[in-house]
Every structure is written in structure tokens, then in C-alpha cells.
Amino acid sequence: MASTVVKDDGRPKETIPEILHDPGTGKRYLRGRFLGKGGFAKCYELTDMDTKELWAGKIVPKSLLVKQHQKDKMAQEIAIHRSVAHRHIVQFHTFFEDSENVYILLELCRRRSLMELHKRRKAVTEPEARYFSLQIIEACQYLHNNKVIHRDLKLGNLFLNDEMELKIGDFGLATKLDYEGERKKTLCGTPNYIAPEVLGKKGHSYEVDVWSLGCIVFTLLVGKPPFETSCLKDTYMRIKKNEYHIPPKVSIPARNLINRLLRPNPTERPNMDQIIEDPFFTSGYLPPRLPTSCLTMVPRFDGLIKQSLDASDMVVLGMSRKPLLDVNEGQRPFTAEPMKRDERKNDRGAGEPDLEGRAEAGRKTEEEPRDYYLSDLCGQLSAVVASKPGERVNPQLDECEDPAAIPIYWISKWVDYSDKYGLGYQLCDNSVGVLYNDSTRMTLLSNGDNIHYIERNGEEHYHTIRQFPETLSKKVTLLKYFRNYMNEHLLKAGANMTPRDSDEMIRLPFLRTWFRTRNAIVLHLSNGTLQINFFQDHTKVIVCPLMAAVTYIDEKREFRTYRLNLIEKYGCSRDLASRLRYARTMVERLINSKSASSSNRAKSAAS
């Protein structure tokens, strides 16, 4: 059976077999779930039918390789990629072709790329930037020693495996130098990362990768590329003039490194061997590994490096456990009015917590909105609903699918005991949380040992299931009760997408607020994710404002993620459209309840 997409004129656009045959080796590969698409290629998970090994299959239709220069470019990409092997480069497995397509089998990197991390997190901490940058440098040292220039280093080409190890991929623009001192003159690269000597067509070499590294380090630490503007012409002008601004929050060692890497004269830039000796890398804390949770939440470094840091370092690293109110003086935290008991018959739920941000300075940065992205959610969902996506005659939902935007965490189980104690829930990684009726929270990590406790004012405390203050005894007992009940009585929603983690660095999103209606339960997490579980047919929608995407789990428990702007463009099924309308209404309700609570608080203060 083949996957065929039909054009508007009725002609087949492409055909991808369900079982792929490699004529050279006789191997067979089973085409699995869709992973995403790029300029020419579509990617699928492929399973070796003999060994059961999993690979990422990059499939390029030959109909897109008509001109000779296109064929040559593809041949060069394959030749260069198959010639390199390094722990921080995506492994090249094999390639073959049939009459329809070229198939390239590569290492499967389930944790996607730094682009998705960037969209969810914006700026990351300096230890994280150090961790990722060093792995890029090691891979580039290897490539440059083998006379290969990548020429397209950017967040979207830096992939992550289950262990959160970085792998450079996509060698579509890579080139090999034939002799020492050779300068290439092809205009290539991605606008935000392109070096000035490439724009000037003066000839370029290894230094373009150094420049791109500078742009990557800047983007990781600042949250946006150094030369980014809304106009491509202006971006190129800023690159040529070397106009960029490093905000004061960036440390002096990081600032100095960026300035070294982004020198306009390529001969003045350090090479990879020199960069790895820079003080930014030699003097700062380097995590030995990172937890999967850092894809969406700031990791904890406090227990690992506290002794060697002063107070200002700890704020930069996101390690202060002071409530946000104390850090941002003059900004009152938000407190909702508790819901009256008679209102909870059909609409039971926890009120807003006694905090407006996450528990600490590092938990909620200045870039994050104070409403946990509810305004963004409302705008995105309103735009989709206004386009009437369910009324298209032939909605092209396949065009909207983007598995890279899949949520990192969602609630897989929940139990409502709010009449007495609160709401218990399990995240997809098997961690368990409780939002108690007094607006405090407790989370037990998936290792079954580490406990995170968040007070009403947002202050965080870290304990274990064996050692905790006597004052938390009842809450720990309730946490265990919720965990045992869910494990014994409830089915899990969706597959477990989160692998083992580095426990001492994990920081999980918490359940910020929730309520029930006659039709569904609405759950809003602190990382902005909105989840709605519908009672009647057990379907679910998970909307992420940072990725501007919705994940739909249908009656058959099939799990698909779509970009909201593409649904707006191409349409979707009536079922999904109705759930998006409902989600928009629920977001409006959350916003209105917050406004009403703020108004009540203002009246109380005035009286």
C-alpha cells in the first residue's frame, strides 16, 4: 500500500510505498509515523523489518530532481554526509532509490531540534548554551579537520536524541575544500545566520561556520537572532554593517565570546580549536547532561553548583527560589476568588494560584507574559475559528501536520477529589502532581523519589518521598493516594513520549488552574499548554501557544499535531474545528475569570 497525495487537478503528486525495498542489500523497511517535511523531502520513521532498528527516512521525490544541478546537489549531500562519522553528527545509515523517490536513512533524533526548544523557551540559561555550543564545536572541529564546511548551521539543523545529545544534520549546503586556502563563492545559507563575506561574494571558507556559531550562541542566550528584522533587506544591511545589540543580562564572558565570533573580518575570527579554549567554556559550569524537561522548562542547577556561585550568578541561571513578587517589586501577584460550593456542581475546579509568575526569577523570565500565554492562545484560536476551517469542501489536513510541534508534557490521567482535597493528575512521563484546594502544589517525579512543593506565594521547596518536613505529611500522604488510585484504576491517555531524565535537574510544568463543564475538563499548565478532555467521546485537544499548534487525540486514540496557521489556510475536519471553537470559548472564559478576579481585588483594596 502506498501513500498518495492528489493535486487539485486530480493527478497524483507523489507515491511513497508502505514497505521500502533497498535493491542493493535486499533490506526492507516499514514506513511508520510521519516526522515532518522540509523544502524537498518528507521524513518518516522507518523500521528495519529484520533487525527492528528505527531510522529517520528522508524521502525526496525524483519529480523535484529534474534539473542537473538539483541532481548534483543531492549527490553531493549524500557523498559528504556518508563520508563523515562523529558522535555529534547525525549518523548516515544508507541510501537507495526506486523509480519514484530517493531514500536517505539517517539516525532518528526523537527530541527534534534546537528550533523547537527555542520556540518554547526563547532564551536559555548559560550552562545550557555552553552544553549545546560545545557539542557543535566538537562536531565542527571534526568537519573542518576533514575539509568540510557545513555552511548551514542553524537551530533547525541541530538535532537532539533521547539523551539530549546534540547532532548536526542536513548537509544540503555543505561543501568540501579541494586544497588548502580554497575560497568558495556560492551564495548560500539561511538569512539570519549568513556571514558577511558570503553576502559580499568575496569568497568564503571555514570561518562561515564560526560566524553561524556566533549567531547560534547569541540566539540561545538572548532569545532571538542578532541581526533579525522584519525585512530581509534590512537584515542583510545589519549583517554588512555588523549591527547587533547584546542585552545587559548576558554575562561578560558570553558577551566577549559572541563579539569574537561575529567579527566582520573572517580572518579575525577564532577557529574551532581556539573557541573551545574561550573563558566562556573554561570558567563556567558545564552540565554533564540535560533533562528532557529543559525542552519546555528552565532546568534546576541549584543543587549542583550553588557553592561556587554568588547571588547574581544564581539569578542569571534561574536558581533563586524567591517568589516572583519579591523579585519584581511593586507587581502584585494574582489571586482568584475561590469558587463557591454551589457553583462547583457542574463547574468544579481550582482557582488561580497565589502567584502571577512561576516561583522564581529563573522560572518566569521578563520575556514571558504575565497571563501564561492566554492572550496568545486567544488570538491564535480566534484567527483559526474566523477562517471557518471545518467548512472547506476538501480540507488538506495532511498539509497542516507538523509532528515537530508535539507537546513535551500533557496530562495523561486525572482524578477530581476537589470536594475535599484537590485535583490529582499524572503527566505523560509518569510524574504525579496535585493542585490542592489551598492553591499549593506538589509534584512527585517519575523516579518516584523527588518531590517538588510550591507554596501559595510561589516559593519552591525540594524534598524526597522519604525526607520532607512534618508539616507536609498530610499532603504527601494525599499525593501517594492520588498516585495509587490513578495507577490502579485509570487508563493512560496517549503514549509515553518522555524518556528517562536527569532527576536532579528536572523542572516540570505545574497545573496552574482547571475547571469542569458539562462537556469537558479544562486544564491549563504553567508552560502555557491548554488541554481539554471531552467526556462523551474521550477525544482531547492540547493547544500550545508557543508552538502555535494543536494536538488532537481522536476516538481511536490516534495522536496528531497540526500548526494552527496551516489549519487556517488549508482547513480541517468538522470534528477538530468544533473542538477548536470550544477551546477558544474556554480560553475566553479563563481570561474573563482572571479579569473579574483582578477587578474584585482592586475593589477590595479600595475599600
Please identify every residue annotated as catalytic.
152
β-strand pairing of 441-444 with 432-436? antiparallel
Indicate the SS3 state at residue 337: coil
Pairing assessment for the beta strands 101-106 and 520-525 based on DSSP bridges: unpaired
* Rounded-to-integer distance, Cα 312 and Cα 320, Å: 9
User: Do residues 89 and 139 lie in contact, with contact meaning Cβ atoms separated by under 8 Å?
Assistant: yes
Q: Specify whether the CB–CB gap between 507 and 525 falls below 8 A.
A: no
Q: How far is Cα 145 from Cα 126, in angstroms, rounded to an integer?
A: 28
* Cell, residue 211: 560566524
- H-helix or E-strand containing 373? none
CB 550 within 8 A of CB 535: no
119 annotated to a ligand binding site: no
Radius of gyration of the chain (CA): 25
Cα 219 from Cα 258, distance rounded (Å):
10
Cα separation, 202 vs 194, whole angstroms: 13
For 489, other C-beta atoms within 10 Å of its C-beta total 9
Helix, strand, coil percentages for the chain (3-state, nearest 5)? 35, 20, 45
Spatial CA neighbour of 604 closest among 335, 209, 395, 268 = 335
Cross-strand pairs, 432: 426, 444
What residue has cell string 532546568? 299
Q: At what angle do helices 574-606 and 374-386 cross, to 10 degrees?
A: 140
Question: What is the Cα–Cα distance from 415 to 433, expressed in whole angstroms?
Answer: 11
Q: In 10 A of CB 463, how many CB atoms?
A: 16
AA letter at 207: E
Q: Any idea what the Cα angle at residue 77 is, between residues 72 and 78, rounded to 5°?
A: 100
How far apart CA 326 and CA 332 sit, in angstroms, is 10
Residue 422 is given by DSSP the state E
Q: Which residues sit in the known binding site for ATP?
A: 58
Q: Which residues sit in the known binding site?
A: 58
